[in-house]
Amino acid sequence: MSATLAHAVEPTTAPTAPMSSEIPATTTESPTTTSAAAAPEPAAAPTATAPEATASTTTKSEKPTADEPQNALTEQFTGYEWKALNEFRKSVPEALVKAYEKPEAKTTPINLWGVRIDPTNLVDARVSVVLMKFLRARNLNPTAATEMLVETLRWRDEFKVNDACKEEFPEDVFGKLGHIYGRDKQGRPVVYNVYGGNSDLNAVFGDVDRFLRWRVAFMEKSLALLDFTTVDQCIQVHDYAGVNMSSRTPESKNAASQASSIFGSHYPELLYKKFFVNVPGYMSWLFWIFKPLLPAATFAKLAVAGSGPKSIGKVLLPLIAPDQLPKRYGGEADAEVFEKK
């Protein structure tokens, strides 16, 4: 999909490359606001088709044992998902060894998306929710899910995600590119990517590596708002107001491509819904042209919400209460963070 028509599959976090350190999830009052922002970011390339689920996951199902820890999210797992999860758990300790290339990783806890994962005791409700994301992204195939987990942990270690989360980024460059404000009616945090937030494209994309570190840090910040007990996904609003053809530079396209690859490969099943708003007319047709190229499940998460508060609000208000939705998007919230100069 076009780099300008924001990424189709994203995942929704996690400051956890080094195994020894954990970054606590942040707690915020509702509505939540942050001005560390999400910059122009393309549609994540559809994840490569995963191997089909094995016979063991498709012909049999299991129920959780009586002593299996449960929460509101695990209670929604199907019997087939429990079957796949039990198989997946067996491979996690060795997956950590493979990812970090250290024998001691087999017994060393890590922190992924704010959830502590202890390979010696994986029977934990929040851990089950995290592992299920990899399984669902791979059609409940434990082998394929294990491979995805290994690659994700390896990438996090090499990218140094924890360091990116601690890095200070210039407010005048990235401060208006994105915000986290409020939650939907089910408690999901709402993340706004403001593509026209900074017209100085060289400042934003001139250093692609810096842009990617900032973008990953912003993703991690949004995912820190998930508790993986009742809420495990985000809603994204991609605002294209002010975007034009000149916004596509070689640097921005390179950054967009790399960001899409990162989020499509290493942040599975963390997006509930993505809305495109204030999309220029010349870009709207791209949404429909690329529809046949996207998996049906992916396309179902995407929606074009029109332009202007009235049109946008008509689409967003059924999901987001007026006091949680900024006025510029059809709600009643003042949301001053969007108005800063």
Residue 340: the pLDDT is 58
Residue 142: the pLDDT is 99
- Contact assessment for residue 124 and residue 23, using Cβ atoms and an 8 Å cutoff: no
- Contact assessment for residue 35 and residue 291, using Cβ atoms and an 8 Å cutoff: no
Residue 339: the pLDDT is 66
- Contact assessment for residue 94 and residue 106, using Cβ atoms and an 8 Å cutoff: yes
Q: Verify cis geometry, omega within 30 degrees of 0, for the bond prior to 31.
A: yes
User: What's the CATH fold of domain 33-46+170-338?
Assistant: Phosphatidylinositol Transfer Protein Sec14p (3.40.525)
Residue 230: Cβ within 10 Å count:
12
Q: For residue range 21-80, what is the model confidence (pLDDT) as tens digits?
A: 333 333 333 444 443 333 444 444 334 444 444 444 445 788 898 899 999 999 999 999
- Contact assessment for residue 40 and residue 75, using Cβ atoms and an 8 Å cutoff: no
Q: For residue range 145-154, what is the model confidence (pLDDT) as tens digits?
A: 999 999 999 9
Give, in degrees to the nearest 5, the angle at Cα 262 between 258 and 267.
155
- Contact assessment for residue 10 and residue 274, using Cβ atoms and an 8 Å cutoff: yes
Place of tokens 């606001």: 33
**Residues forming CATH 3.40.525.10 domain(s) in the chain:** 33-46+170-338
Structure token digits, residue 32: 């939540």
Cα–Cα distances in angstroms (integers) from residue 300 to residues 221, 260, 307, 325, in the given order: 25, 18, 20, 22
Give, in degrees to the nearest 5, the angle at Cα 322 between 321 and 325.
90
Strand order in the sheet with 189-194: 33-34, 178-183, 189-194, 234-239, 271-277, 302-304
Residues in the chain where the model's pLDDT stays below 70: 1-59, 339-341
